[in-house]
Amino acid sequence: MFKNLAFILLLVGTLYYEPTFAQSARLQKPAEEYEFVYHQDWSANFKLRSDGWQLGFEMGKSKIYTRSLIYQIDLGLYNHPKQAKQNKDPYAGWFSSNGIKPFIYGKQNTLFALHGAVGQRFLVAEKAKHNGVMINYYYAGGITLGLLKPYYLRVCGDDLCTYYDVVSYHPDEDNGFIDYDKIIGGAGFGVGWKLKFRPGLHAKTGLQFDWSSQSSMIKAVDIGLSVDSYFSKVPIMVTKANKFIFVNAFVGISLGKKKL
């Protein structure tokens, strides 16, 4: 239900706002009536998503005041909705130093996603000359490249746990990866950078609220929806169902600059 609603919002936003803003662009004021008309802008952004987080960069080019062509690139970390971090260290805490790391039982891979997208940004509401908020609507679509990093655990190497092995999930091996009683803890983020790739498609739509008091600067909050659709299921968990479509809501902050 939520996936269908997100796709409908993306489709309706694209079909509805395009003719509406294109029509308003034909009726817009001449450029000389605006204090400044910026033809380029760039911004860096950080977004918290309902399934993770991402860092990104956006560049915009504009020939008319109310519409810009935008180019986006970002890298994000995705979490499976059923994953849960746990710790077998009885003294776990901020100052624990015995080397036992928390782990996620049943996690097979960590998913990063690299997005490249092109879209349009439309002016919804102008801000006052020296204060107020500018509101923009945008949509973008492109490609996504899923980067799968194998998840490693420390497990007991023998029945008495006199030593440990560092292992990842292999369906044909009984190496203790899914034997909860043998697991000691996580192996650490720096272990196992043997990446696998999953290509797919990406789309997003959202609203941007720019409150910067300087017309040449961007200080904005973003809210919206995004969708990643891979060509096959993405194996994140061993013990839970995996999927190939990822729908999420996001909120973020963008900081940048505009050029005449």
pLDDT in tens, 116-154: 999 999 999 988 766 789 999 999 999 999 999 999 999
- What are 113's strand-pairing partners? 76, 146
At 67, the amino acid letter reads R
The per-residue pLDDT for range 154-197, each reduced to its tens digit, is 999 998 999 999 999 999 888 999 999 999 999 988 888 899 99
> Per this entry, what is the length of the chain?
260
Residue 70's pLDDT is what? 98
Nearest by Cα to 226 from 75, 69, 49: 49
Residue 130's pLDDT is what? 64
Residue 92's pLDDT is what? 62
| Contact in structure between 258 and 217 (CB atoms under 8 Å) | yes
Q: What is the DSSP string of 147-181?
A: EEEEP-EEEESSTT-SSEEEE---TT--SSTT-GG
Q: What are phi and psi of 204, to 5 degrees?
A: -150, 155
Confidence check: pLDDT of 8 > 60? no
The per-residue pLDDT for range 202-230, each reduced to its tens digit, is 999 999 999 998 888 999 999 999 999 99
| Contact in structure between 66 and 123 (CB atoms under 8 Å) | yes
Q: CA 4, CA 16: separation in Å to the nearest integer?
A: 18
Q: CA 143, CA 260: separation in Å to the nearest integer?
A: 30
Edge-first strand order for the sheet with 183-186 is: 164-167, 153-156, 183-186
Residue 91's pLDDT is what? 66
Residue 93's pLDDT is what? 57
Residue 32's pLDDT is what? 46
Domain boundaries, the chain: 2-81+109-146+191-259
Q: How far is CA 74 from the centre of its chain?
A: 7
**Model confidence at 36, in pLDDT bands (50, 70, 90)?**
low
Residue 203's pLDDT is what? 98
Residue 12's pLDDT is what? 41
Task: State how beta strands 153-156 and 164-167 pair.
Answer: antiparallel
State percent of the chain over pLDDT 70: 82
Q: Which residue has the higher pLDDT, 5 or 48?
A: 48
Confidence check: pLDDT of 31 > 70? no
Q: What is the mean pLDDT of the chain?
A: 86
For residue 59, give the H/E element and its range. Answer: strand 52-64
Residue 228's pLDDT is what? 97
CATH fold of the domain at 2-81+109-146+191-259: Porin (2.40.160)
Residue 97's pLDDT is what? 52
Q: Which residue has the higher pLDDT, 36 or 106?
A: 106
Q: What are phi and psi of 70, to 5 degrees?
A: -120, 145
